[in-house]
Structure 1
Amino acid sequence: MIDKCFQCGICCRLFLVNLSEEEYRSGKYRTQFEEFGLIDDFHKATLYGANTLKQKENGECIYLKENTCSIHKTRPQVCREFFCTSKLKKFRYMIEQIEKKRTILEKEKEETWEKKKFPKYKY
């Protein structure tokens, strides 16, 4: 099950969005070096980073407006495939990991106590 978007905007702040060749050539997205025009050779465009979506000065995607993607219906494929989990799921996962660690530590503590209480003597 894919989680619904909670409009936190994290995915639009943390990553550069690389366009596919088809998306890049379509010209419908603003790219990093758009003022220089499209580079004919897509591999060179990728090498130079010209196939990435333009960013604001603060590093956010140019299409992020008030924590919402302003081109959500026509966003690039990589944005559509971005896997994001809800904060609640992340919190539950964190709690599970803490509980597992606590169980391991309690077991180790108990084993250590047993060794001190009943040391094995060699006769």
Structure 2
Amino acid sequence: MTTVPCNGCTACCRDGFIRLRPELGDDPASYLTRETTFGGERVHVLQRNDDGSCIYLNSKGCQIHGNAPSVCRSFDCRDLFSKFNRDERRQQIKQRGASVRAIFDAGRVRMSPSAIQS
């Protein structure tokens, strides 16, 4: 797994829901969760703050960083940015709003030559 140069960025903590994956070692009993249906199956997701951000995110960043769920540990905004072409990114932003724009922007910045060299 490649280390993502987040440098305090928390854009990914503010978008969507964070699904727990017991098959990857996530123990739902270790987190504040709720159940929802995803792809026809019942799954546990982390609870959200009123603003939609992860329940474990505060002004100092992720409060469970060392014990974060597998999806958090493996997420790389650069992969998400690369997955979509420009028109697809625009469509995603139109559908999902500012939070996904922030993730795309973070991915773009972290893919820049200066970020890659450091």
TM-score range with shorter-chain normalisation? 0.5 to 0.7
Cα distance change of structure 1 residues 72 and 89 upon mapping to structure 2, 3 Å threshold: closer
Percent of aligned positions that are identical: 29
- Higher strand residue share: 2
- Where structure 2 has 5 or more consecutive residues not aligned to the other structure, the ranges are 79-105, 114-118
Cα distance change of structure 1 residues 16 and 67 upon mapping to structure 2, 3 Å threshold: farther
Between the aligned partners of 2:42 and 2:27, the Cα distance in structure 1 is 9
Among residues 25, 30, 33, which one is paired with 1:31 in the alignment?
Answer: 33
Q: Tell me the C-alpha RMSD between the 2 structures.
A: 2.5
Pairs aligned (count): 78
Cα distance change of structure 1 residues 88 and 32 upon mapping to structure 2, 3 Å threshold: same
Structure 2 match to 1:8: 9
Between the aligned partners of 1:83 and 1:63, the Cα distance in structure 2 is 19
Among residues 32, 40, 45, which one is paired with 1:52 in the alignment?
Answer: 45
Larger Rg: 1
Question: Is the 1:18–1:52 contact (alpha carbons within 8 Å) kept by the matching residues of 2?
Answer: yes
The alignment's TM-score, normalised by the length of structure 1, stands at 0.53
Offset at 1:44? 4.7
Letter aligned with residue 13 of structure 2:
C
Structure 2 match to 1:70: 63
Between the aligned partners of 2:19 and 2:52, the Cα distance in structure 1 is 14
Between the aligned partners of 1:89 and 1:4, the Cα distance in structure 2 is 7
